[in-house]
Structure formats: structure tokens, C-alpha cells
């Protein structure tokens, strides 16, 4: 008698699976090790009737806090509930409106850590999410030096990834689906799922390049593929350090029993880097800004990501002020 193993179970043997949601009730079924949240996911969860009690409880227990201050409490409240479910770490995001202010980002990160520690949570179970702007990366450098681990988010290019590795960021989140979205929109009718999908998917190739770069040059920063549009993108990155996946796609993986093959292997890195002739990047501020500016996809998607997180943070404040 043979036992069928789900694609999700197979994937977990080669990659750490992370749940990408603020809806902590849904993640219980998939037994992820870690979980990630962002302002958009928390806003979505906060608007669901089964989580109304969390918001109301915070407003009652903190009657003198302004909505902007209550947002921190909400983010941590959801994080605390998630930590009751998972054995690992939760990622909690710094206010995206601070993405171009290093000092304010550092202060906000420390505030979030203080809130978690006031509830008895060890800071090693928290990853502070910070956007991969130059200012954000400098904040990461300072925070990591103080033992506050960071997840640098909205990574769309090797330039951003290399800068994060240079400051010893704990983890980076390259956004697979959003990279693919940009290229798909750019190509329009010329896009072909056969030639532009699978191993040739632009989002997949971007993460694969970052993976081989980090492994070849001995960069210890963890790589967590994020923002997936379909399970094919996920399966093409099997073997990546971590992959953060929405409940919808986790469900697809759990109900799929196709064989999962390791696609990323550190042993292949020397050959891959040699084939692309990628030298180790040394970036100061002006070099970083120029290189990012010269990558229209990364520039546009970084700006769009920050802008949308700002909008959803504003919406969350309005919800808390009602």
C-alpha cells in the first residue's frame, strides 16, 4: 500500500514554508514554521467579523492612544496570536510611511520590539519588516548590530539584495509575482506562458540569481521568496531557504500530490554565477541609487509597494478611529 505525499509536505522537506497572512485562524491547517504579515494583510484581517474583538479590545484598553499609535498595538496583537500557532518567527512591518527616514524607522522598530517583549516574547521570534530603500537598509544595519533581526521586504533586484547582504540583514523577501506582473504588463500581447513561464518566469529567475549570488559569495542572509501568483512559481523555487505563501496557494499545494523536485541547490551556485559573469557587488549610496534607478522594474515596483502599504496603513488608522 502506497501513501500519497502532498506537494506541501514534499516542499517542506527542502524549504521552510512560511504562511503569508494576517488571518491566523486559517494558517492552523498548514503547520507553517514562520508567518509574515504586512499592512495590507492586517487591514484585510482586521475587517473580518471574527477579528473585530481584537480591535475593540485594544481601543478599550488604550483609550488615550491616537489611531496612529493604535496601529502598532494592532500589528503586535495579531503577531502575538500568530506566535501561539507557529513554532518560529513572525514578521511585523514598520510603518511604510517611514521608508525614507532611517532614524524614524529605527525608532519604530524598537517600539515594536518593546511591545512584543512587554508580552514576554523573545526578540529572536520577531522579524522587523523594512522596505529595501537605501534609508531602510541603513536602518537594518543599525538594528541588526543591536540584535534586532530584520526582514527586508519589497526586494525586486540583485542590487537591493546585495546591499541587504552587505549589512548582514537576517532575511530578505524578493517579490516573485510582482516582478512577473511588471514584465507581463510590459510585454502585453507578446507575453507567452510557455516561453515566459516555468523556469523562465522573470520573478523566478530573479530569485534564482539572488540565491546563487548569496550562496556563491558566502552571504548568510536568508532568502525568502514572496508574492506568488501560482503554485508553479513556488515549485520552481523549491530548495530556496524559505518561501512565504498565501493560504489559497498553501491549500493548492496541500491538495496536490505531484512530485516536487529541488530546483535550487547551493552546489550549483559557482556554475550559475560564472555563466552570468556576476562579480561581487560593492555599493555605496550613490552607486546603489544609480543602479536602482537604472532598473525601471525595480524602481517602479518598489515605489508602488511602498505607496500601497502607506494607503492601507492610512485605511487601518481610519478604521481604528471610527
pLDDT tens digits along 130-157: 999 999 999 999 999 999 999 999 999 9
Return the pLDDT at 282. 87
Q: How many CB atoms lie within 10 A of CB 313?
A: 22
pLDDT bucket at 275, cuts 50 / 70 / 90? very high
Told to judge if 301 belongs to the known catalytic residues of this protein, a careful annotator would answer no
Q: Alpha-carbon distance 233 to 204, whole Å?
A: 6
| Residue 222 lies inside a defined structural domain of this protein | yes
Q: Count of domains in the chain? A: 1
| CATH number of 140's domain | 3.20.20.70
- More confidently predicted of 315 and 2: 315
Q: Does 6 fall in a domain? A: no
Residue 322 is predicted with a pLDDT of: 82
pLDDT band at 68 (very low <50, low <70, confident <90, very high): confident
Residue 1 falls within a domain, yes or no?
A: no
Owning domain of residue 162: 14-54+66-321
Q: Say which residue the cell 497572512 belongs to.
A: 21
**9 in any annotated domain:** no
Domain for residue 220, yes or no? yes
316 vs 192: CA distance, rounded Å: 39
Under a CB-based contact definition with an 8 Å cutoff, are residues 292 and 151 in contact?
Answer: no
pLDDT digits 0-9 by tens, 198-225? 999 999 999 999 999 999 999 999 999 9
Q: What percent of the chain has pLDDT over 90?
A: 95
- pLDDT of amino acid 3: 56
CB within 8 Å of 137: residues ≥ 6 apart: 130, 152, 160, 163, 164, 167, 169
Give the pLDDT score at 285.
Answer: 98
Beta strands in the chain (DSSP E): 16-20, 34-36, 90-93, 126-131, 150-155, 171-174, 222-225, 242-245
- Does any domain span residue 8? no
Residue 1, pLDDT score: 36
Within a domain: 302: yes
Catalytic residue among 108, 129, 215, 301: 129
pLDDT at 2: 43
Q: Is 2 part of any domain?
A: no
Amino acid at each position: 500500500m502506497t501513501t500519497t505525499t502532498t506537494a506541501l509536505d514534499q516542499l517542506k522537506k527542502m524549504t521552510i514554508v512560511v504562511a503569508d497572512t494576517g488571518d491566523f485562524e486559517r494558517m492552523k491547517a498548514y503547520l507553517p514554521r514562520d508567518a509574515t504579515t504586512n499592512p495590507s494583510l492586517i487591514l484585510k484581517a482586521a475587517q473580518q467579523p471574527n477579528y473585530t474583538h481584537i480591535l475593540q479590545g485594544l481601543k478599550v484598553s488604550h483609550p488615550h492612544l491616537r489611531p496612529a499609535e493604535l496601529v502598532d498595538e494592532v500589528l503586535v496583537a495579531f503577531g502575538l496570536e500568530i506566535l501561539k500557532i507557529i513554532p518560529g518567527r513572525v514578521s511585523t512591518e514598520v510603518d511604510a510611511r517611514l521608508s525614507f527616514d532611517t532614524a524614524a524607522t529605527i525608532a519604530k522598530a524598537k517600539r515594536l520590539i518593546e511591545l512584543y517583549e512587554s508580552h514576554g516574547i523573545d526578540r529572536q521570534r520577531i522579524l522587523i519588516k523594512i522596505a529595501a530603500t537605501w534609508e531602510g537598509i541603513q536602518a537594518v544595519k543599525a538594528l541588526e548590530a543591536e540584535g534586532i533581526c530584520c526582514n527586508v521586504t519589497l526586494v525586486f533586484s540583485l542590487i537591493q539584495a546585495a546591499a541587504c547582504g552587505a549589512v548582514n540583514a537576517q532575511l530578505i523577501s524578493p517579490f516573485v509575482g510582482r516582478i512577473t506582473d511588471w514584465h507581463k504588463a510590459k510585454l502585453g500581447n507578446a507575453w507567452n506562458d510557455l516561453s515566459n513561464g516555468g523556469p523562465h518566469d522573470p520573478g523566478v529567475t530573479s530569485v534564482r540569481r539572488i540565491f546563487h549570488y548569496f550562496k556563491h559569495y558566502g552571504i548568510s542572509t536568508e532568502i525568502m521568496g514572496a508574492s506568488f501568483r501560482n503554485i508553479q512559481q513556488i515549485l520552481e523555487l523549491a530548495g530556496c531557504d524559505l518561501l512565504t505563501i498565501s493560504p489559497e496557494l498553501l491549500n493548492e499545494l496541500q491538495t496536490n500530490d505531484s512530485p516536487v523536485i529541488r530546483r535550487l541547490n547551493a552546489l550549483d551556485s559557482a556554475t550559475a554565477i560564472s555563466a552570468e559573469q556576476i562579480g561581487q557587488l560593492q555599493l555605496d549610496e550613490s552607486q546603489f541609487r544609480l543602479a536602482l534607478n537604472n532598473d525601471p522594474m525595480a524602481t517602479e515596483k518598489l515605489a508602488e509597494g511602498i505607496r500601497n502599504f502607506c494607503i492601507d496603513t492610512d485605511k487601518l488608522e481610519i478604521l481604528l478611529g471610527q
